[in-house]
């Protein structure tokens, strides 16, 4: 019923940043190579994610905003995915429950527009647009005052959305991104590579090196680390991705800084973007969509590998 679905929506939709994350993931899933994101009022009054992906037919569009549509389950593997992620197939429906939602989409064949208010489809019409999808989310939590009140200040919501965008910039350097806050362009990023994206996200870092082919039989580590001369007073310039997914784990920061060893002065924290690839059996990424913790079956092995790869990469600053 209505109450149950509003509560369920809260699991995947907690703030503008979580909406942006889900919508951009959908654009990436649709094979888009150009994605535009705009927020207003920290995303509280307006969020737009627009892509040039493969779009949807009218039928797909109507299914996309429905909860628990069995037609979303195409195979046994999908059923497995639904249980392992818990919330697969819920994002658009959840966002639709708690906002005014407008989607326009074209699969190159047909173009349609769907309008939804508080979980109810109020209009579907034929339109014209180029191939791709645009999702607009107005007035997040307009129908759940308690949750709306719980949102942070515009400034904090804006920062959280920007961090989500920065993670996509770093993990998907081939995809072109345009990100606007209100009418101001914050990122206009053409298709490029990790190193260019690193410069864009951390322009203050004038010296950094890529980690070259640092791999053993089980773990593969890649990414970028800054020269120890470039640092922050906290660890906000250190991002870790495990099997492509952003994670927060103190062990990883400690391993990174252990790799720097004596090169670091007390209280300084270098910049790093580190990608860790491990076989899925070695890692348990918490299945809750809002929790970013990770559990390694062999944490010591991960720690040692990161420290070693960082130490090897540091030599490049001497040459």
Kindly list the residues in this chain that would bind ligand ADP in the complex (CB under 6 A): 22, 26-27, 29-30, 51, 53, 55-56, 60, 64, 72, 88-93, 133
Q: Which DSSP string corresponds to 232-265?
A: ESSSTTEEEEETTEEE--HHHHHHHHHHHGGGSP
Task: Using the minimum distance from each CB to Mg ion, give the nearer residue, 165 or 221.
Answer: 165
Residues 6+ apart with CB under 8 A from 64: 56, 92, 93, 103
In the list Mg ion, ligand ADP, none, the entry touching 30 (Cβ below 5 to 8 angstroms by class) is ligand ADP
Nearer to Mg ion, 95 or 306 (CB): 95
CB of 72 to ligand ADP, least distance (A): 6
Of positions 26, 38, 50, 94, contacts Mg ion by CB under 5 A:
26
Q: Shortest gap between Cβ of 318 and ligand ADP (angstroms)? A: 46
Q: Of Mg ion, ligand ADP, none, which one does residue 259 interact with (CB within 5 to 8 Å by kind)?
A: none
Residue ranges with strand state E in the chain: 34-40, 46-51, 100-106, 111-117, 120-126, 132-138, 176-181, 184-189, 208-215, 220-226, 231-232, 238-242, 245-247, 269-270, 272-277, 283-285, 294-296
Nearer to ligand ADP, 96 or 259 (CB): 96
Instruction: Give helix then strand counts, H and E, for the chain.
Output: 10, 17
| Separation of alpha carbons 103 and 249, rounded Å | 36
Closest to ligand ADP by CB, 95 or 224: 95
Q: Which of 263, 255, 267 is nearest to 228 (CA)?
A: 263
Listing from the earlier edge strand, what are the strands of the sheet with 111-117?
Answer: 120-126, 111-117, 100-106, 132-138, 46-51, 34-40, 176-181, 184-189
Decide: is 93 part of the binding site for Mg ion (CB under 5 A): no
Question: Which residue is associated with the tokens 């109810």?
Answer: 120
- Work out how close the CB of 26 gets to ligand ADP at its nearest, in angstroms, rounded to a whole number: 3
Query: Which listed option, Mg ion, ligand ADP, none, makes contact with residue 89 (CB within 5 to 8 Å by class)?
Result: ligand ADP
Choose among ligand ADP, Mg ion, none what residue 133 binds, the Cβ cut-off being 5 to 8 Å by kind: ligand ADP
C-beta of 280: minimal distance to ligand ADP in Å?
Answer: 19
Q: In this chain, which of 47, 49, 56, 91 binds Mg ion, going by CB under 5 A?
A: 91
Closest separation between CB of residue 29 and ligand ADP, Å? 6
Q: Which residues bind Mg ion (CB under 5 A)?
A: 26, 91
């Amino acid at each position: 019923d209505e109450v149950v679905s509003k509560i369920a929506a809260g699991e995947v939709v907690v703030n503008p940043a979580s909406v942006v994350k889900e919508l951009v993931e959908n654009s990436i899933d649709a094979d888009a190579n150009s994605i535009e994101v705009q927020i207003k009022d920290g995303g509280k009054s307006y969020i737009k994610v627009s892509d040039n992906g493969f779009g949807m037919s009218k039928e797909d569009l109507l299914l996309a905003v429905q909860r628990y549509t069995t037609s979303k389950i195409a195979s046994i593997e999908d059923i497995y995915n639904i249980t392992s992620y818990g919330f697969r197939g819920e994002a658009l429906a959840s966002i639709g429950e708690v906002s005014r939602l407008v989607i326009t989409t074209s699969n190159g064949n047909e173009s349609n527009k769907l309008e939804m208010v508080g979980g109810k489809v109020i209009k579907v019409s034929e339109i014209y647009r180029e191939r791709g999808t645009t999702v607009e989310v107005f007035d997040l939590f307009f129908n759940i005052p308690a949750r709306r009140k719980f949102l942070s200040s515009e400034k904090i919501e804006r920062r959280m959305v920007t961090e989500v965008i920065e993670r996509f910039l770093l993990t998907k350097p081939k995809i072109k991104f345009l990100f606007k806050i209100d009418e101001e362009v914050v990122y206009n990023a053409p298709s490029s590579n990790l190193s260019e994206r690193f410069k864009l996200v951390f322009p203050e870092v004038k010296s950094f090196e890529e980690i070259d082919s640092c791999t053993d039989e089980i773990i593969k580590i890649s990414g970028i680390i800054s020269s120890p001369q470039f640092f922050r007073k906290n660890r906000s310039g250190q991002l870790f991705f495990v099997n492509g997914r952003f994670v927060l784990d103190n062990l990883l920061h400690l391993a990174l800084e252990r790799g720097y060893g004596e090169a670091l002065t007390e209280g300084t924290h270098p910049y790093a973007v580190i990608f860790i690839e491990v076989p899925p059996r070695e890692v348990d990424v918490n299945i809750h969509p809002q929790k970013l913790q990770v559990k390694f079956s062999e944490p010591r092995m991960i720690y040692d590998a990161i420290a070693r790869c960082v130490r090897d990469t540091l030599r490049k600053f001497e040459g």
